[in-house]
Amino acid sequence: MKPRILVSRPPFPEVLQPLRQRCLVEANETGVAWSLEEFHRRVADKEGLLISGADRIDEKLLDAAPHLKVVCNVAVGYNNIDLAACTERGVLATNTPGVLDETTADLTWALLLAAARRLPEAERFLRAGEWQGWMGDAFLGRDVHHATLGILGLGRIGQAVARRARGFSMKVLYHNRTRLSRKTEKALDVQYVSFARLLREADFLSLHLPYSQNAHHIIGAKELARMKPTAVLVNAARGGLVDDVALIAALRSQRIAAAGLDVFENEPNFNPDFLKLDNVALAPHIGSATRATRLAMFELAVKNLLAALAGKRPPCLLNPEAWTKRRK
Ligand code: 8YV
């Protein structure tokens, strides 16, 4: 008997095909997320889930899925999954690290450059038909080249962002929970500094750490007040790392110059006050959104799923403590 699995968001056909050969697949092909009730109802007889980072896996969901063996995120971030609750029930959880680093770093730079050079504002002006001719003092932005880039969280994605800074002749400072080896620092041409110094010296501050309770509002009013008034904040990591209300106040009062944001608190119902600001470049959580990368993420998630359902240890297991007590 093939295992029953649920796919919560529309996958690429290339991904569904191999899945259908090995599993009984129920997939949401509508593009509209299921309601919580519907999601809970559909998991009742499933052994595996392929989900997006926007789907919550909590105790309630797990209790509605007594046959569940594995939950596979099509995302590297996994703050949507209650890992302890999974482990307690012998449910394996996996993510998709590594395959989206370069693509997310590209988007980070798109936001950084757009915010620095006021691109969204300039485009709105042009689209509104307001362009009358050359304007010597309009849309004056900030130079990116030779500026100081501060990176908070120098993991895989942060490092890919740092490597791109070389092309802009930037000085790169970073702060991390654990300092990297001197060899890696040298190879990346980055300098480790305290969090306080990072805030003080960065012309561009980019966040690349995972969300956790400890990192909640790691950038709030106090931190924004320590940044340069000319600084630009970039967040393509996770909503909740930044206190959005405090950021809106800082952008409105020009306490910092600008921001580039791909992620928000309470997505997709982000704070509408962002829309009233000119000095922010906004994107709807598209950091990993290229066809090649989304396909690679799905493929890795499927690899995790099929391994777990075959009784093998999945390559990106997040809760190894669950392995010995996994449901068989
Ligand atoms: C996903 C992401 O698109 O991988 C992550 O952590 O934030 C994005 O790449 C998003 O989580 C939806 O699955």
* Residue 17 pLDDT grade (very low, low, confident, very high; cuts 50, 70, 90): confident
Q: Which of 4, 175, 208, 285 is catalytic?
A: 285
175 CA from centroid of ligand 1 (Å): 23
Per-chain mean pLDDT for the chain = 97
Helix (H, G, I), strand (E, B) or coil at 192: strand
Q: Can 285 be counted among the known catalytic residues?
A: yes
Domain ranges (residues) in the chain: 4-99+291-325, 101-282
CB 26 within 8 A of CB 45: no
Q: Is the pLDDT of residue 31 over 90?
A: no
Q: Is the pLDDT of residue 112 over 90?
A: yes
Q: Which of 4, 238, 294, 326 is catalytic?
A: 238
Of 3.40.50.10540, 3.40.50.12500, 3.40.50.720, 3.40.50.300, which CATH number belongs to 101-282?
Answer: 3.40.50.720
Of ligand 1's atoms, which has the minimum distance to the CA of residue 238?
7
Ramachandran area for residue 193 (φ above 0: left; ψ -120 to 50: alpha; else beta): beta
Q: Count CB atoms within 10 A of the CB of residue 213.
A: 7
| Residue of the CA atom closest to atom 11 of ligand 1 | 53
For range 108-114, the mean pLDDT: 99
* 243-261 confidence digits (pLDDT tens): 999 999 999 999 999 999 9
Looking at residue 102, its pLDDT comes to 98
52 CA from centroid of ligand 1 (Å): 7
| Residue of the CA atom closest to atom 1 of ligand 1 | 75
For range 269-290, the mean pLDDT: 98
Domain 4-99+291-325 and domain 101-282 have a common topology: yes
* Residue 277 pLDDT grade (very low, low, confident, very high; cuts 50, 70, 90): very high
HSE-CB for 146 with a 13 A CA cutoff: 1
| Residue of the CA atom closest to atom 9 of ligand 1 | 288
Choose among 165, 163, 213, 173: nearest CA to 195. Answer: 173
> Which residues contact ligand 1 via a Cβ below 6 A?
52-54, 74-77, 100, 287-288
Angle at 58 between CA 244 and CA 210, to 5 degrees: 45
Spatial separation of the C-alpha atoms in residues 284 and 222, rounded to whole Å: 26
| Residue of the CA atom closest to atom 4 of ligand 1 | 75
For residue 263, the Cα-to-chain-centroid distance in whole angstroms is 7
Q: Can 208 be counted among the known catalytic residues?
A: no
* 32-89 confidence digits (pLDDT tens): 999 999 999 999 999 999 999 999 999 999 999 999 999 999 999 999 999 999 999 9
Give all strands of the β-sheet with 24-27 in edge-to-edge order. 24-27, 4-7, 48-51, 70-73, 92-94
Q: Is the pLDDT of residue 11 over 90?
A: no
Spatial separation of the C-alpha atoms in residues 195 and 177, rounded to whole Å: 10
Spatial separation of the C-alpha atoms in residues 189 and 263, rounded to whole Å: 28
| Residue of the CA atom closest to atom 2 of ligand 1 | 75
Angle at 15 between CA 44 and CA 161, to 5 degrees: 105
Spatial separation of the C-alpha atoms in residues 322 and 64, rounded to whole Å: 19
Residue type, 156: R
For range 104-121, the mean pLDDT: 98
Q: Count CB atoms within 10 A of the CB of residue 88.
A: 15
CB 258 within 8 A of CB 116: yes
Instruction: Say which residue the tokens 């929970």 belong to.
Output: 177
Whole-number CA gyration radius for the chain:
22
Of ligand 1's atoms, which has the minimum distance to the CA of residue 80?
11
User: pTM for the whole thing?
Assistant: 0.97
Looking at residue 196, its pLDDT comes to 98
* 319-328 confidence digits (pLDDT tens): 999 999 999 9
Q: Can 238 be counted among the known catalytic residues?
A: yes
Q: Comparing 12-21, 91-100, 126-135, 289-298, which segment has the lowest mean pLDDT? A: 12-21
Helices (H), 189-266: 195-201, 221-226, 244-252
Instruction: Choose one of 263, 288, 290 to mutate for the ligand 1 pocket test, by most ligand atoms within 8 angstroms of C-beta.
Output: 288
Q: Under CATH, which number does the domain 4-99+291-325 receive? A: 3.40.50.720
* 160-202 confidence digits (pLDDT tens): 999 999 999 999 999 999 999 999 999 999 999 999 999 999 9
CB 247 within 8 A of CB 233: yes
Q: Is the pLDDT of residue 10 over 90?
A: no
CB 164 within 8 A of CB 110: no
Looking at residue 29, its pLDDT comes to 87
